[in-house]
Chains A and B, each alone.
Chain A
């Protein structure tokens, strides 16, 4: 079973920030929080990941609470092309390529004009 809980759907106005929450209250100390998104009929796309510090890249920012039990993915200026299903996943991260991704139901983000 997935170890994360996300709202099933959210709307966001184009140009505004989209804040997608995720609960992962049973996360272990060596588990990272990963975010992926899936646009209809395509493979998932990696967005960002973090362990305990906040992270930012060209796509998004990841805010992880101090107790690590929840996190928020922030798309600073949502566009129509950001409409997708967003998945929050916890997994063991390592320098090797082990670690399975167990997908939950994700959040369907609808960006509206």
Chain B
């Protein structure tokens, strides 16, 4: 199947700093990527839809100024958690579907963010 890669796999940052997470589609192009967040023992929660060349679409209750999304190319979307706080500690996961081919979405391996 298609490969989606996230970087970093894990990150620890100090409270008040910003953290950038990258999501890359390695062998296909995607005009749309999705960002999810998952707290321990909970399901994935969709945060936002990243649109190549335009603004991201955020789900209700997700602060767009706190979670900055940039989709600069057909193979890269970034999520920046600004002024991170301990409550932002979570597992962040991205997904993408190829422009051509099947309709299934492929997920990155996730990024574990710990804010101390």
- Residues of chain A having any CB pair with chain B under 8 Å: 32, 34, 36, 38, 41-46, 49, 87, 93-106
Contact = CB atoms under 8 A, between A and B. Distances in A.
B58 interface: no
Interface in B78-116: 91, 93, 95-100, 103-110, 112
Interface in B12-35: 30-32, 34
A103 B104 contact: no
A83 B35 CA distance: 25
Interface of B: 1, 4, 6, 30-32, 34, 36, 43-46, 49, 91, 93, 95-100, 103-110, 112
B34 A101 contact: yes
Nearest to A48: B104
Contacts of B99: 96-97
Secondary structure type dominating chain A contacts: loop
Nearest to B96: A97
B34 A100 contact: yes
B92 to A, nearest CB: 10
Contact of A46 (B106, B109, B112): B106
